[in-house]
Structure 1
Amino acid sequence: MASVTATATITPTLLYQKTQTPSIQLQSAPCSRFPHFSAQSQSISAARSSRSPIVPRAASFDTANIADALAEVSIFTASGQAVLFRDLLGQNEEIAVVSLLRHFGCPCCWELASALKEAKAKFDSANVKLIAIGVGGPEKAQILAERLPFPMDCLYADPERKAYDVLGLYYGFGRTFFNPASAKVLSRFESLKEAVKNYTIDATPDERSGVLQQGGMFVFKGNKLIYAHKDEGTGDHAPLDEIFDICCRVPVT
């Protein structure tokens, strides 16, 4: 694993180093892990193909042992069954993408869930497990699953925000309503409008403090964390093309 000198400019939300290079359009090229995914028209960093995983100094959790810290965290399936986090992660070095939504009544999270649903076939074809977790009880998860709709078998509820706390995800009034990172939602207005056609505020968690929770996106290979993105504000989701790219580049063992 490449080492890096810790400075104040290191982005705390990613385990992949980003360099200041101009964004370019990649030529269409097949991806060995995602055979139907083309890089064409995906604007990504020119340095992405050569960067290596690093652990940022500013991370608010121990990345080397985060899977161990999460192992005994108990959450619920959308049907209401308790499950330990360790049982969700892929075994034998399998890759798992874990998306922590804000809460089931957040319109931006309906948009993200819709995007994840559309991407699930690509994940499945590459044997990458998709796990979506939201704040609220299982009955709230069922509302999203039925009305969006979203597959129940990969949807989980964390009403007490246990996994969010372990991962150190952002929380608070300012992050939820006034963070500049939320402005990027404006560029996704059409997809947001489409995602909330069947939206209902009834999916909002009964414990209203849960609406101030921010989410994040994590990629595990077995019990090893290889990518982390913490949403800076509402709607600041990790770009799925970046998640695809990372999963493509993880060596198969």
Structure 2
Amino acid sequence: MAALSAITLFSQPRFVFSSSSSSSLSPSICPLIPPSRNPSRSMGFSIERKKRSPCAVRASLSSVNESVSEILFDVPILTASTGESVLFKDLWDQNEGMAVVVLLRHFGCPCCWELASTLKDLKPTFDLAGVKLIAIGVGTPDKARILAERLPFPLDSLYADPHRKAYDVLGLYYGLGCTFFNPASAKVFSRFESLQKAVKNYTISATPDDRSSVLQQGGTFVFKGKNLLYARKDEGTGDHAPLDEIIDICCKTPVA
């Protein structure tokens, strides 16, 4: 595959700054980036967010509100296969079941195709340990199916969150700085061969129609029943959780 440019790599639209202001994006040329987002208000509850430095939290439960599980479990997402709405609390056994929940950026992100490819290879390890793999992406179910068919990726482990409700509940990073200008995004260039292999059937048509969605970052979470055991927010594009940590927590065996 031909060398990927930075724009192609992150699957973003081109952003052009308006001539009237060097700090604002021209709404006539590029998607608007909302100054603040809290769609949870429209879901019947409100999450009070404390001010924090963008893209500055590593893997830590302290970066996630203690009551987030209770709120998250009532958030609806859509199955990739049929578009059926399901609640988080119905995705795994809420007593002792283990689940690895990986929130991808969006279905048209090449770095997420790379991550999804790795998760697909690890799924037999999760299955053997009785761990449910749940991969969620920003976009509609039809965009999710593009990734599932072309990568490929198991449809029964793939879900869509077109309105980013789960991302907001978990406080995942969003914005131009996290997407393009955080040093953590440079990590992907050390995995160039892996990325090339994962995107051999890639198509940009999997990108959400709502182009503001491409500024969303993802994260990885491990649950045992209702208890959150591990939380990591991606600081930049391609800054994914170390999967050997996930395997150690869920399966107690090192990654092969």
1:51-90 paired onto structure 2 within 5 Å: 55-56=61-62, 59=63, 61-63=64-66, 65-79=67-81, 80-90=83-93
1:25-64 paired onto structure 2 within 5 Å: 55-56=61-62, 59=63, 61-63=64-66
d(CA) in 2 for partners of 1:195 and 1:163?
26
d(CA) in 2 for partners of 1:132 and 1:193?
21
1:74-153 paired onto structure 2 within 5 Å: 74-79=76-81, 80-153=83-156
| 8 A Cα contact 2:139 2:208, kept in partner | yes
1:163-242 paired onto structure 2 within 5 Å: 163-242=166-245
Deviation at 1:249, TM superposition (A): 4.9
Stretch of structure 1 that moved more, 116-125 or 241-250: 241-250
AA aligned to 1:14 is A
> What does the per-residue CA deviation read over 1:115-160, in whole Å, with 9 as the maximum and x for residues that have no partner?
0000000000000110000000000000000000000000000000
AA aligned to 1:182 is S
- Three-state SS of the structure 2 residue aligned to 1:177 is helix
State the aligned residue count.
Answer: 198
d(CA) in 1 for partners of 2:239 and 2:185?
6
Match of 2:19 in 1: none
- Three-state SS of the structure 2 residue aligned to 1:121 is helix
- When the two chains are superposed, the root-mean-square deviation of aligned CA atoms in Å is 1.6
What are structure 1's unaligned runs of at least 5 residues?
Answer: 1-7, 16-54
d(CA) in 2 for partners of 1:197 and 1:12?
32
Residues 1:243 and 2:246 aligned together = yes
| 8 A Cα contact 1:67 1:86, kept in partner | no
- Three-state SS of the structure 1 residue aligned to 2:239 is coil
- TM-score, scaled to structure 1: 0.75
> What does the per-residue CA deviation read over 1:8-51, in whole Å, with 9 as the maximum and x for residues that have no partner?
9xx84323xxxxxxxxxxxxxxxxxxxxxxxxxxxxxxxxxxxx
d(CA) in 1 for partners of 2:201 and 2:126?
25
- Three-state SS of the structure 2 residue aligned to 1:101 is strand
- Three-state SS of the structure 2 residue aligned to 1:120 is helix
AA aligned to 2:72 is L
AA aligned to 2:94 is Q
AA aligned to 2:78 is F
- TM-score, scaled to structure 2: 0.75
d(CA) in 2 for partners of 1:243 and 1:81?
28
AA aligned to 1:90 is D
Match of 2:58 in 1: 13
Match of 2:162 in 1: 159
AA aligned to 2:161 is D
